[in-house]
Amino acid sequence: MERLQKVLAEAGIASRRKCEEIITSGRVQVNGEVVTTLGVKVNASEDEIKVDGRTVGQQKKIYVILNKPKGVITSATDPEGRKVVTDFLPGIRERVYPVGRLDYDTEGLLLLTNDGEFAHLLTHPKHHVPRTYQATVKGVPHGTLLEKLRIGVQLDDGMTSPAEVEYADVNPTKNESIIEITIYEGRNRQVRRMFESIAFPVIKLKRIKFGPIFLTGLPRAKYRHLTPKEVEELREAALQTHNVQKGQ
């Protein structure tokens, strides 16, 4: 017997927190009765569970890495009819959802899954799973400015946590530089806003690493399934960073 919200999350309905909202709004039935109380325990293999009238089945867990192109919405659907990341997953019949977000103009590594518990684990702020980006910026910021990013800068939603920042390349002809930055938060447009705070706007942004998983070798707009080992490494990375924050 497991809590209803956990069963829904593991079935890929949504994150556990969102599943709690779905339950309390009266959208879930168990064995024909509407359940609105959190904490109700069910047997996923025996009880009939429905969300919005549709039966929730035990789905095969899908874990995918996509090299997201620029100009694509990080969503499963878009009411305006724009390209979304699930358009680039031919052959995957299960409903999968992005783990976190990449901006419309940002490309690179994006994880997708139908495992709500897994997605929640990787994106919850308490876990601080690192994300590494390659930022192409106009100009060449000197070391003291990069040190500000390493220590933390003031944004309109508060100070950023310490980041890892290193030069990757400099193009004097174009007056551009490529800087690799690793952050441990997931704020909206955070990397772009960090560079704007030091007056070096981002021209191009690409995520190249999420936790221990690298984008290396995956062509743009293509995807592959994560291996069981990679899935376990991601779980461990989330739990380890949480334990470090707790001082364990």
The DSSP secondary structure of 210-235, one letter per residue, reads ETTEE-TTPPTT-EEEPPHHHHHHHH
Token pair in block for residue 180: 């690799």
Angle between helices 16-24 and 116-123 (to 10 degrees): 120
> CA angle at residue 57 from 51 to 61, to 5 degrees?
115
Q: Residues 215, 180: contact at Cβ < 8 Å?
A: no
Q: Where do the DSSP E strands lie in 70-186? A: 97-98, 106-113, 131-138, 154-155, 158-159, 164-171, 176-183
103 is catalytic: yes
126-144 b/e (C-beta count within 10 Å ≥ 16 → b): ebbbbbbbbbbbeeebeee
CA distance 189 to 203: 13
Token pair in block for residue 236: 């461990």
CA distance 12 to 10: 5
- Please, which residues bridge with residue 236 across strands? none
**Given the residues 47, 78, 103, 157, the one annotated as active site:** 103
Catalytic site positions? 103
